[in-house]
Amino acid sequence: DQQVKQNSPSLSVQEGRISILNCDYTNSMFDYFLWYKKYPAEGPTFLISISSIKDKNEDGRFTVFLNKSAKHLSLHIVPSQPGDSAVYFCAARSTGANSKLTFGKGITLSVRP
Amino acid sequence: DTGVSQNPRHKITKRGQNVTFRCDPISEHNRLYWYRQTLGQGPEFLTYFQNEAQLEKSRLLSDRFSAERPKGSFSTLEIQRTEQGDSAMYLCASSLGTSGLNEQFFGPGTRLTVL
């Protein structure tokens, strides 16, 4: 049972445009959400996070939006750059679960020059 | 390099053999996690240590799997009598703090192939 779902396996955007990566979750106990970026042959790298008490968190070109009622979050990258091409994982955790992360399957983002 | 390191990076073994992986976390990090990632999936939680205490194990961690963190620093993950289904990327992560709310830093992983 996938508690964190990334239903689109891939996304291709033009350099300079916006990339929107979506994520849905089913577990109401999740109260903290993270996005990780992964290049081939490397481990996941933390990108940005959001607490369930917020609906938006921004860090430079990256913004994460959280809609608790819809159990949906999205990562916006503006403007997209070729170096952003990677696999992006949505992850979630609940504070009562020893902070283990539950990951989605990932989305492969390709930014075309 | 002060990040999380894992050794070996790649391991090829025959079915039935035992393998052991090592993870060296960031030095001051007291929490250490093991995850497994198979093709087309995200990382899945296996087990977690706070200092030397193993506080949680996933149902994915069968009796053939054992993890240790004897001095609260590096950790080892051993798989006995490997099966082809054990082929995966094994990821280690570490974090600092007692609340568990701090970011987890991942190592590059050990890719296991069981023939």
B19: tokens are: 């393998």
Does B100 have pLDDT greater than 80? no
Does A20 have pLDDT greater than 70? yes
Contacts of B106 in chain A (CB under 8 A): 36, 43-45
Percent of chain B with pLDDT over 90: 77
Look at residue B59 in the predicted model and tell me its pLDDT: 87
- CB of B101 within 8 Å of a chain A CB? The answer is yes
DSSP E strands in B5-109: the ranges are 5-7, 10-13, 19-24, 31-37, 44-50, 53-57, 65-68, 75-79, 88-95, 105-106
- Tens-place pLDDT, residues A77-111: 999 999 999 999 999 988 765 678 999 999 999 99
| Residue pair A104/A2 in contact by the 8 Å Cβ criterion | yes
Does B98 have pLDDT greater than 90? no
Q: Mean pLDDT score of chain B, rounded to an integer?
A: 92
d(CA A62, CA B103): 17
Q: Mean pLDDT score of chain A, rounded to an integer?
A: 93
Q: Which chain B residue's Cα is nearest to A96?
A: B100
Look at residue A96 in the predicted model and tell me its pLDDT: 66
